[in-house]
Amino acid sequence: MVIIIPQFTALNAMISKAASPTVTPPFHVSLFRESSLDLILFRVGLFREVQTSQFGPPAFSLLHHYDTSEYWDISIPSVQEPIPRSFMVKNYPNEVADGLSAY
């Protein structure tokens, strides 16, 4: 079995959890590191051997990070609306919009 997840440094994870509108239970409550993924797979008990490796750069660079948490909200799924939806609650200031458009 192969599992691919974004690579978060401890600092990336700390900042991402504080800024992301999708870090809301039950969605994305954990940003896995190599050690936590190892532990989860070991505890499942379905595998004789578990190996993890990291490849590539972190999921994002702190230089590319904008705090967008105050501009977005998310709807929590219900029986009537099973798909979560993000929605913008206010527009970005021009300097943030320009920075986001650059990527």
pLDDT at 82 > cutoff 80 = yes
Q: Is residue 42 part of a domain?
A: yes
Residue 5 is assigned to a structural domain of this protein:
no
Give the number of domains in the chain.
1
Residue 47: which domain range? Answer: 10-51+60-101
Q: 3-state DSSP call for residue 30?
A: coil
Which residue pairs, CB below 8 angstroms and at least 24 apart, start in 45-52? 47/1
Domain membership of residue 3 (yes or no) is no
Distance (Å, whole) CA 10 – CA 32: 10
pTM recorded for the entire structure: 0.41
Over the stretch 16-49, which tens digit does the pLDDT of each residue have? Answer: 665 555 555 555 556 677 788 888 888 888 888 8
The predicted model gives 64-78 an average pLDDT of 77
Confirm whether 25 is domain-assigned. Answer: yes
Q: What sign results for the dihedral spanned by CA atoms 77, 23, 19, 58?
A: negative
**pLDDT of amino acid 7:** 74
CA–CA gap between residue 18 and residue 67 (Å, rounded):
8
- Return the pLDDT at 88: 87
Give the contacts of 18 (CB within 8 A, at least 6 positions apart). 67, 69
